[in-house]
Structure 1
């Protein structure tokens, strides 16, 4: 994990957010069993709710541009209460890493390598992720986000075109005939699990160059791209499977099993499996990276290398302890996680922003040019001795205050026009 000397471009960061959300298409079984043919509407509801949530995240990081999430918490709440919240977030990131690691391992075992022990798959994936975290950094983590996002979108669109002959658009009917409680429950699941988990990216926003428009379009753009991908996947699965979508733990995989271009070109689900494995691996690696840097900051470690192995070994162990099988995991994703995760993803960020606002800690967002000018000015001030820097930051020596006033009063008596003002400036420089 290399120290970040250069900031990450905002677009790269946006596609990393989108890629993270795209990888959650495997978890569609958490809510499609509740709303069935109306599941695509739930995704739209979740996108609408995430708009103000993206604004909260953006406003929070723009108010403290040099700090990540932990720095913001300790600034707003103080050393002890802020440290307590940071410890809770470390545990939250660690649990997310363990859960997604077991999701990745179980998916590979059930689709491609059924004879391989689950512990071997988990160890292999986590060891590869540990190597990526050890030798890489934030720039290396996000630079593949655009490529993977575009590949995922193209494959989803291609599978939609190839499955058109299997679709029955009457499967979307009837619309909105379920109880309101089910829509609320399913929307909470979608907001909590795929979308609001992007709070992990707030641990790295102090290394991101947001540009003139700030973080809001970056975060919202990543959410929108990921939402469009999940929406297309859900609508494709509903059109092909109908209400039977609630019977499968992996609806997308079952949909692509039915796609056959020719007798020699079939088994299209393998293509989807490989891209989903790549997305899930990106997600696990990113969560692993965030867990390591958050634990390092919380524990004030100087060397992260031993921490990488310790967290990795603990993640493998806890992934088998938390949920013994997929059915228990699925039930937890419907009943427990949507009640606990909002504390970290919605409530704490919102309360932190409100407290910072009342304490006068928030400030107006600076544009990218203003940030660049202020950083260059601070660098030049640090490089030159005190009092030798001119106000314009050009590096030219400036007159002392007394000599400026004396020379100004001396030449002001001979000045009658505005053109004389420019000459006085030249005479000042000559006097120096």
Structure 2
């Protein structure tokens, strides 16, 4: 009788798996820059340090609506009378000379005349009787108050945004403040996404006995679009090594990364690892995390043999078929790789200290990422299980605020014990 037992494969601890795949990618990575309008640059990654071409503010201006004056003209007389010599409005600066002991009306953002140095808020003044051209100041001002000096925010030539910055709304607003219309960014990573498994049916189709709807592909496509990748939907492939081989060979000529879900476990119909080894190289398989153990990483050779040594291979990430496992490995292993390939700094996980509300079951051997809800109390953060540990229940991820980080060799956790939790990231909200 032929044995169907699989050979034992040692599981990589999560930090080692992360470092291993990042090292492999970094050794072959080639980043390419392109120039785009700032109106097309949202969530793109800056390809070069950006320095300010102008001073901000470009001129000394008022921080308040009120009256601008020379502090040297201020006397100790509480009934000092100030003649209003004109006005400076935003976009319409005062053009003239201000006599000694006079002031001008000024609005927020309006340019300060060169010889004036202090602004008094409108609320701190009152008209001098019926004279609408003269006023009193209710309280003695402080020299230099309520003004914004030229270059006080940014000086000409100052570093504004370093290379690798992801351009969000605030960064783009700052570029517009500087008058920058175009910016150098890295090209988007082109990622193909496929799902495999004879049991999968697409939403809208009819389920037969034993069938499941394909949830992973739309989930992963959505995450990668939100990340900023150029996403290609490679569709679904049946449990057939030749069909998978054909799809991967075709995709390898048009994408930088392939993300698959399913087909990386130990079942008789799990062919991703087999085909990957035939078309390229599998670097590692199985990570010591729960959920998410059956994760494969490697690369495919491109068909252009003449350029194969000059261009990076196609990186392949084989995610598990269970949807929670796919989500966890996407967060912990795929996203850091995409950050690197996009020219960004690889972000370390954000971990918060918390205490358990109830006991958590845990066996040594794997980093356990259980789904928990969080409550902030006067005694700190409390973590409570959402009530399920199944890697197939995607709804549990919706109800969770965070994942636990129960150390690899840790045993059961008692109520009130200290743990670490990783808050749900923006990719899943």
TM-score range with shorter-chain normalisation?
under 0.3
> Whose relative contact order is higher, 1 or 2, with alpha carbons under 8 Å and at least 6 apart?
1
TM-score (norm 1): 0.22
Instruction: Specify which structure has the higher proportion of helix.
Output: 1
Larger Rg: 2
